[in-house]
Amino acid sequence: MTVARVALPLAAPQTFDYWVPAGLAVARGSVVRARIARRALAGVVVGVDQSESVARERLHSIEEVADLPSLPDDVTDMCDFVASYYQSAPGLAHALALPPLLRRRGRAASGKPPVAAPTAAAPATLNDDQARAVAALVSALGSFSPFLLHGATGSGKTEVYLAAAREALARGGQVLVLVPEINLTPQFESRLRGALPNAHAVTLHSALSDGERRASWLAAARGEASLVLGTRLALFTPLPALALIVVDEEHDDSFKQNDGVRYHARDIAVWRAHRRNVPIVLGSATPSIESFAHADAGRYTLLELPRRAPRAAAFPSITFVAPRGHTMREGLSQALVDALSQRLERREQALVFVNRRGFAPSLKCVACGWQAGCPRCAARLVLHRDPDHLRCHHCGHRSNVIAACPECGNVDLLPLGSGTQRLERALHSLFPAARIARIDRDTTRAKGAFSAIRAQIEAAELDILIGTQMLAKGHDFPRLTLVGVLGADNALYSADFRSTERLAALLTQVAGRAGRAGLAGEVIVQTDFPEHPVFSMLATHDYARFARTLLEERRIARLPPASHVAILLAEAHARADVDRFLDDAHAFARERVQGGHGDVEVFAPVPALLARRAGYERGQLVVQSERRSALQAFLPQWRDALPAIARKRVRYAIDVDPAGFC
């Protein structure tokens, strides 16, 4: 009898056996439908055996083989690797490789991939740095070769990807391009289509309909689409002729999935490139410390584009203004207000960046110091206007604005600090004639809202943009010549070991929006700590040097990438349940470490940085090792022991190579 081992999309730690009826062609990678607990689920066959030891009656049969191309070996191997490396259920890992719409039987793909409408743009004449980078990539085609492309914002990284992709396509290969954000895909997409008019390009991201995603997936899996552009989920697409992988903005946290299967798409992309023997280029203006460490160790080839690409485009000038000791109007310094009025006179655009949405981050009683807190989280409520309400940014809880302090009855409640809404009001009253737009998650929630604003910016229908980090990344606005940065100092107080790296990347990206097309750019940063290394880095435009300083700090503190970390995250309604679970998990781990995993260090459980969220008490336990293999050898036993340690009331997850501590 033929028995298929099937990975079903369930959190179970195992695969499931089914017998294969005669006449069904089933092999590793086949996508099948199988019944479990009265549900028919789509799963992936991970192995097929001949077995006489099991009685047929004890197994269900495979119901049908889906009308889809089988997953190729590199994709099933990648899913196996993801499951084992990230300690996740095999079925959930394999589900990442399946296209949507498998649940509805017999329904044909409805969406069509968007058709290329080329206006064929002549490729830019590459400068020497770009040409060198392209030559290195092209000569690596056909072999595994990881590259780190470090180029300042506007240095022409995208032109390098395009030139390398053009060559890979000309040789009949497929190219996979990963970007962190859906918002970045339309702009990237039109550039790709313009520069590579003969490529059949498809996109894959979560904002597409299921039908569109399925159509893109099929076109890629059948080898019809030559170029796949997408977010992290596109990484798992079958690509029979894969020849080159590009990961743009490789430092971006969006490549890390933080629920379900907690994989890092950049890291797994490198694994896939290795498995397929193709080059991969990781590009960024602010590469991750991890990637710099790989480059320094000789594992990645470093390609640098130190200058801005278009002739006459210089780096912006950077000025610091200290809020302390200066008169501020609603959080705005006089220097920034003056610079804004200049831009209005010159009909240029300005961006004021503040990474907080809402009106004010907190509502405080001036008499007794009470601040409005979320009843379900260990966090403050954010004051929002239009309409007035208090909102928790962690769990979404909303309540009415209270009229008096619940502690002392005082009616003098003060909105503390400044968010995008407050800044918008302030700028409207300072510049009544200016056309101002606020761009944050609240104003761009509706489908198409963000692209509508983008179009207005490009058509010069807006003068001042107020934006959160949504607007910091990748966008190219030719008339934007001034960037003001507010509230950057808040990030300096964060307890997360990656906060300085993130701030440095964010500031560099925001500053990079200023002055791109021959118009000089200016950046004004309001900070009380201009001598902080993160700001000196910004002033000298030397991210690489700063990154190496951070790397040295991480080595001394034995933090990633100088060590390899996994976190056990736990939550429950009662703190005692969290504590007991983590204590037991800790004791188990300690015992194992003493019994032969001496290279692994187990830390004591601690409350999460956000100790309560949405009614759940949260805690975490860190294990780490200087050797990745030692950590990987230890984790499976721990993972397998946890179900028995956890009682019903505790939810938990293991996060390997976490983006930070939570």
Q: How far is the CB of 316 from Zn ion (least distance, A)?
A: 38
Name which of 152 and 377 has its Cβ closer to Zn ion.
377
Residues in Cβ contact with 152 at an 8 Å cutoff, skipping those fewer than 6 apart: 285, 305, 306, 307, 308, 315, 512, 541, 543
127 makes contact, choosing from Zn ion, ligand ADP, none, with CB < 5 to 8 Å by partner type, with: ligand ADP
Q: How far is the CB of 441 from Zn ion (least distance, A)?
A: 16
Residue for token digits 């589900």?
A: 95
Q: How far is the CB of 503 from ligand ADP (least distance, A)?
A: 20
514 near Zn ion, rule: CB under 5 A: no
Q: How far is the CB of 152 from ligand ADP (least distance, A)?
A: 7
Name which of 450 and 616 has its Cβ closer to Zn ion.
616
| Token pair for 205 | 């991201």
Q: Which of 126, 242, 503, 569 binds ligand ADP (CB under 6 A)?
A: 126
H/E element, 8: none
Name which of 215 and 365 has its Cβ closer to Zn ion.
365
Strand, coil or helix: what is 82? helix
371 near Zn ion, rule: CB under 5 A: no
Strand, coil or helix: what is 49? strand
Q: Which of 15, 155, 216, 500 binds ligand ADP (CB under 6 A)?
A: 155
Kindly indicate which of the ranges 118-126, 235-243, 433-441, 572-580 contains the residues binding ligand ADP, using the contact rule CB under 6 A: 118-126
Name which of 302 and 434 has its Cβ closer to ligand ADP.
302
392 near Zn ion, rule: CB under 5 A: yes
Q: What is the DSSP string of 184-223?
A: GHHHHHHHHHHH-TTS-EEEE-TTS-HHHHHHHHHHHHTT
Q: How far apart are CA 205 and CA 186, in angstroms?
A: 11
533 makes contact, choosing from Zn ion, ligand ADP, none, with CB < 5 to 8 Å by partner type, with: none
Kindly indicate which of the ranges 98-106, 122-130, 227-235, 554-562 contains the residues binding ligand ADP, using the contact rule CB under 6 A: 122-130
Q: How far is the CB of 267 from ligand ADP (least distance, A)?
A: 22
Q: How far is the CB of 127 from ligand ADP (least distance, A)?
A: 5
84 near Zn ion, rule: CB under 5 A: no
Q: How far is the CB of 517 from ligand ADP (least distance, A)?
A: 7
Task: Using CB under 6 A, count the residues that bind ligand ADP.
Answer: 16
Q: How far is the CB of 446 from ligand ADP (least distance, A)?
A: 28
Instruction: Quickly count helices (H) and strands (E) in the chain.
Output: 16, 30
Name which of 586 and 618 has its Cβ closer to Zn ion.
618
158 near ligand ADP, rule: CB under 6 A: yes
Note whether 282 and 157 are within 8 A (CB): no
Note whether 600 and 624 are within 8 A (CB): yes
397 makes contact, choosing from ligand ADP, Zn ion, none, with CB < 5 to 8 Å by partner type, with: Zn ion
322 near Zn ion, rule: CB under 5 A: no
Name which of 159 and 424 has its Cβ closer to ligand ADP.
159
Computed on alpha carbons and rounded to an integer, the radius of gyration of the chain in Å comes to 27
Q: How far apart are CA 374 and CA 397, in angstroms?
A: 7
414 near Zn ion, rule: CB under 5 A: no
Cα angle vertex 145, ends 144, 151, to 5°? 150
Kindly tell me the burial class for residue 178, based on how many C-beta atoms sit within 10 Å of its own C-beta (0-12, 13-18, 19 or more). buried
Q: How far is the CB of 61 from ligand ADP (least distance, A)?
A: 52
Note whether 49 and 26 are within 8 A (CB): no
User: Contact letters (x/-) for ligand ADP, 72-111, by CB under 6 A?
Assistant: ----------------------------------------
Note whether 219 and 227 are within 8 A (CB): no
Residues in Cβ contact with 300 at an 8 Å cutoff, skipping those fewer than 6 apart: 146, 147, 148, 282, 291, 294
Note whether 622 and 565 are within 8 A (CB): yes
Give the interface with Zn ion as residue ranges (CB under 5 A).
Answer: 365, 367-368, 370, 374, 376-377, 392, 394-395, 397, 405, 407-408, 410
